[in-house]
Amino acid sequence: MIQSMTGYGKATVTFGGKKIHVEIKSLNSKAMDLSVRIAPLYREKEMEIRNQITKVLERGKVDFSLWIEKEASESATPINAALMNNYYEQFKNIAQTTDIPMPTDLFATLLRMPDVLTKVDVQELEDEEWNVVQGAVEEAIQHLVDFRKQEGVALAKKFTEKIDNIEALLKAIEPYETERVTKIREKITAALEKTVSVDYDKNRLEQELIYYIEKLDINEEKQRLSNHLNYFRETMANGHGQGKKLGFIAQEMGREINTTGSKSNHAEMQNIVVRMKDELEQIKEQVLNVM
């Protein structure tokens, strides 16, 4: 069954007091267009994540986010007590040797000294943590794939409805097609008979009528369009990754419908062709979203 390129997936895991969130969403695109935002701790794994995504999703405009949510107690910037004490000892020694009094707001002064409130957050990614995060990435991707499949079912239902409508309209042309041939013959014959002082060869007229009617014949177009409708159904049933192929088939269907319209020369037939074009246009709009 076909898949849509529209999808959304999310996963959340906990490790070492951290909540790790993974979010991935996709829209339609002619090729793989991947954008990633990854927390600094996991950036060394960016290429691995990219490969993991492109291998499964294949095509689409994909946005991927991986971020960490820490507890409030861990998010506060720690005071570097050792460095602060070192500054204090230096202040005290300078005050003793120079007779310069200690600052009255000593604590506030120490807090303003370089690196006392600088957060040093040097972490190394451990294999155990990466295994957990990688599992979350896989889960989010799978949720997106499931979403795409659900959307694909809805698209297939819509396509089937439109293809069936075009097929029904194609059959509705047949009565008018037979009527059209008779009317063309009667119209030409009547015009000749009304013309004064004109003598014509009826056998030659018959040959010319046959030639003219053959030029307006749409049996080949009808047969090719019918084949394209069946091929569209077969392609949908072949599985995902058929979006471009379905687009090509829809183009061929459009050619046969347009040729049928140009050959119709009959008001009712042309009205039916317009309805067929409307059904096909809805297929073309939606087929852009198929994987």
Query: pLDDT tens across 213-250, in order?
Result: 666 778 889 999 999 999 999 999 887 778 899 999 99
Residue 209's pLDDT band (cuts 50, 70, 90) = low
- The reply to whether CATH 3.30.160 applies to domain 7-74+125-149 is no
pLDDT of residue 193: 67
Q: Taken in order 113, 114, 116, 117, is the CA torsion positive or negative?
A: positive
Q: Residue 262 is encoded by which pair of tokens? A: 């140009």
Q: CA 265, CA 143: separation in Å to the nearest integer?
A: 53
DSSP label at residue 126: -
Q: CA 34, CA 185: separation in Å to the nearest integer?
A: 62
Q: CA 219, CA 291: separation in Å to the nearest integer?
A: 34
pLDDT of residue 262: 85
DSSP label at residue 105: T
pLDDT of residue 11: 96
Higher pLDDT, 180 or 219: 219
pLDDT of residue 239: 74
Cα distances (angstroms) measured from residue 215 to each of 174, 197, 210, 218: 17, 29, 9, 9
Q: CA 54, CA 41: separation in Å to the nearest integer?
A: 22
pLDDT of residue 75: 55
Residue bearing tokens 């997936």: 9
The answer to whether residue 151 scores a pLDDT higher than 90 is yes
Residue 206's pLDDT band (cuts 50, 70, 90) = low
The mean pLDDT of 150-168, rounded to a whole number, is 95
